[in-house]
Chains A and B, each alone.
Chain A
Amino acid sequence: MLNQTISRRDFLKTGGSLVVTFSLSGLVPGAGAQSSPTGKTVAVDAVDGFVAIGADGSVSIYSGKVDLGTGVRTALTQIAADELDVPLAKVKVIEGDTALTPDQGPTYGSLSIQIGGMQIRQACATARAALVAEAAKRLNSAPGDVATQDGMCVARGQRIAYNELIGNKEFQLKVDPKASLKDPAKYKVVGKSVPRLDIPAKVTGEFQYMQDFRLPGMLHGRVIRPAGVHSELISYDDAAAKRVPGFVQTVRKGNYLAVVATSEWAAIRASRAVKAKWSKWEGLPDSKNLWEYVRKTKINKDEELQKVGNSADALKSGAKKMSATFDFAIHTHGSIGPSCAVAEWKDGKVTCWSASQATHLLRKQMAQMLKMKEQDVRCLYIDGSGCYGRNGHEDAAADAVLIAKEVGKPVRVQWMRADEHGWDPKGPPTLIDYRGALDAKGNIAAWESEVFIPDRPSQISVTLVAADLAGLPKESAHPGNIHQALAIPYTIPNIKATAHWLAETPLKPSWIRTPGRMQNTFGNEVFMDELASAANADPVEFRLRHLNDKRGIECLERAARLADWTPRKSRPEYSGDIAYGRGVSYIKYELVRTYVAVVANVEVNKKTGKIRVTKFHVAHDCGQIINPDGLKNQIEGNVVQTTSRTLIEELKFNRSAVTSLDWKSYPILTFPDVPEVAMDLIDRPNEKPWGAGEPTAAVVPSAISNAVFDALGIRLRSVPFTPDKVLAALKTA
């Protein structure tokens, strides 16, 4: 990939200037004002932003969305190949390069197919229409008589290849939002389980990850972390570090301290040899009283997220009233490979390779930090270890850029395990209160929820750690739409859902897979179960009773069928140590897209308090499925990762800093405890494709909690569901 990257750059340096201005007739010309240093447009409204057809008929697809290990590269290849009518093998996807790819927004929110893929599909459809129009002219046919297949236009027995029409030239067309899309019935590769393009190289060591990327003459940097999150660097002694063979220099900027060496091991040894004196800082809350702290945190503002009827009156007059409070611990991303980046400065411009999910946003943040123009910063994506939101990739990139500037040579910064656990931004602690009432018939009359989540002002946004420590200017990002999914997908006469936006949160928050939606759905779907139980209703039937959405109803019914769900008159008692339970949960993601319904099976050991999730049944409707096996892989990942988060994960910290700095202090689920996953994929080829990277994760914690209730009659309202919490609940049951 090193060679590919460099040859791509060289090609574009020359290729960009060789491109002949050439406009295909029939559509609006003149797109492409937003050009990059390579000469290639990166405009999101230009066909040339997304698609290029080479002289040899190869197709380059430029995607701002990147493959974080989800298989989206393969899916985008399928979408483009089908829409352009070219063989799959001819298509190559280039991802996340600020000089080459349009800014399609960060790769988050389960939007890579839904938004990113559809922009590419529309660009390809526009390109195909233009090729057809041009071919019609050359073949003396009407456009309606020109068909496309295998990279060629065909009319009246004559064929003309795309590259003969446009090879190595620009389309110079705006993406036509009305360009007609291929009839899904005619798809050749969309909807098929095309094997992932990256897997053969990944299982043989041939793949080049970010962590493998090297530049000639590159040095290695390591950062020395403060003792406390906001400790100040009083002094440091690098005499011992200087004695490490290969030591190059120490870099200090404010509270930012790093060492540089000629080899990776020398950088590690030197970083360990530096004696740094940090000021005492104990600004974090006492983790034992975390929820009290969250509840007492100053509220910046309240926001009404859903309002139906008059919940206050309905609560007062309800026949049966309920209330409950839920909390969800701080989680870390826990990428298996710590973040890594390489940066190189040349002529006052900087190029940075990283595994950032958001190279365009990163470029903006870097330009701000360095007081540079954005066009003088180029950020390129190279696959890293899986990331499930904003982890340490961007921060490692900032490290590499800062250190490389100081030493005047290319620098690679590989975060150590403790850097990643200790300093990547976290999923914030979340607290939710519920009140509800049933009417005389046992239907829900009133529903109120209030979530306590960090606000989005600059001081708690996802700033670059290096900029924080070095005291450099910062461009803020914010921690995702963590209020989403507090609003519920049920038809209830009186609803009020409120967000209390808090002025602070203990550690820098960011988005981790299913941010907010996971926490909010945990509360929603367990409280739903509590109301069902109070109404003496079957939890599936109770949900169906409150659903007025055809696709949602089908999804929930299919999950119940997959799990062989039959209503119970009463909860069975288990005389042995192990109790068995099943729990249901449902979501319509953000109320507007992907439907997921699940049933979890659990075994709970009454003596030890340990929960084993044995099986998940998932019914999933994300509209048009691009790659069924890729979708299954994502759903399995959602289930397994979220089972881990739900059962065991909790980031520990003291008053100064994070203390979960490795896998012993922050364990994750391992093979013996991994559930089986059964799936029913609901394919709707004629509907829009929606996201699948997150929605299943949203329903996992609640399904497990509801299954534990089914097993033992105890409600777990605090993630993670540790054995201690189970035993404590059993004691008071």
Chain B
Amino acid sequence: MATQIPLNVNGRTQTVTVDDPQMPLLYALRNDVGLHGPRYGCGLGQCGACTVHIDGKAVRSCQFPLAKAAGRKILTLEGLGSSAQPHPLQKAFIAEQAVQCGYCINGMIMQAKALLDTNRHPSDDQIKQALAHNLCRCGTHVRIVRAVKRAAAEMA
């Protein structure tokens, strides 16, 4: 039976119609809202590629039931900024060229934003700890840490 669920994504409310309200939020964001920022990596909450913010907290959207997201404030990579008007974190990732394939980068930026929201001057170790559960296979880690530091400096 189809259910209608109102979602507030990046400041805009829209209703998605689904058969299963327990469907992970990720699929609604990608297939119903049409976003590309949050990515499917494992569906198990292990890699972080699907990370979004819900009410200001970094959440693995592949593990988050759609029904629970109803009416809450969802922020995705697209909500941070665009290539025309990038968020300081996005700008820093461009400046540091902190991307190889880039598939994990959504999670890196969204998780880093959660860190910078609570710690404006993180040390290298704090950045590494904050990103310890976000996986990157290309080996872009060194640049990602530099990018987060750069963003922190710019935002401070």
Binding site for B on A (CB under 8 A): 68-71, 195-196, 198-209, 211-212, 244-246, 263-266, 269, 333-338, 383-386, 388, 414, 416-417, 629-630, 633, 636-641, 644, 662-664, 668, 670-672, 674, 676-677
Contacts and interface: CB of A to CB of B under 8 A. Distances in A.
B128 interface: yes
A266 B2 CA distance: 12
B44 A663 contact: yes
B74 interface: no
Nearest to B131: A671
Contacts of B137: 333-336, 385-386, 388, 641, 668
A204 B78 contact: yes
Contact of A670 (B39, B49, B135): B135
B142 A663 contact: no
Nearest to A334: B137
A269 B20 contact: yes
Interface of B: 1-2, 18-20, 23-24, 27, 30-31, 35-37, 39-44, 46-47, 49, 76-78, 80-83, 86, 90, 93-94, 97, 99-106, 109, 125, 127-129, 131-145
A264 B32 CA distance: 11
Contacts, number: 188
A199 B94 contact: yes
Contacts of A662: 42, 44, 46
Contacts of A71: 100
A662 B62 CA distance: 15
Contacts of B142: 636, 640, 674, 676-677
Contacts of A205: 35-37, 76-78, 106
Contacts of B20: 245, 265, 269
Secondary structure at chain A's binding surface: helix, strand, loop or mixed? loop
Given A202-B99, A337-B41, A676-B142, 7 more contacts: A200-B90, A204-B77, A265-B31, A337-B40, A386-B103, A637-B138, A662-B44
A305 to B, nearest CB: 30
B86 A204 contact: yes
A202 B101 CA distance: 9
Contacts of A208: 36
Contacts of B99: 69, 196, 198-199, 202-203
Which of B42, B78, B81, B109 has the most chain A CB atoms closer than 10 A to its own CB? B42
Nearest to B42: A417
Contact of B100 (A69, A201, A384): A69
Given A200-B86, A203-B93, A203-B99, A637 B140 contact: yes
A671 B143 CA distance: 11
A614 to B, nearest CB: 13
A640 B100 contact: no
Contacts of A335: 103, 137
Given A199-B102, A672-B132, A633 B39 contact: no
B148 to A, nearest CB: 10
A606 B133 CA distance: 26
B102 A198 contact: yes
Nearest to A644: B139
Contact of B94 (A68, A203, A336, A629): A203
What 6 pairs between A and B have smallest CB-CB spacing?
A69-B101, A640-B139, A386-B101, A205-B37, A202-B102, A637-B139
Contacts of A206: 36, 78, 82-83
25 contacts: A71-B100, A204-B77, A204-B81, A205-B76, A206-B82, A209-B103, A246-B19, A263-B19, A264-B27, A265-B19, A265-B20, A265-B23, A265-B24, A333-B137, A336-B101, A336-B104, A383-B101, A630-B97, A636-B139, A637-B138, A638-B139, A640-B140, A663-B47, A668-B137, A672-B129
Contacts of B78: 204-206
Nearest to A416: B43
B83 A204 contact: yes
Nearest to A677: B142
Contacts of A671: 127-129, 131-132, 134, 141, 144-145
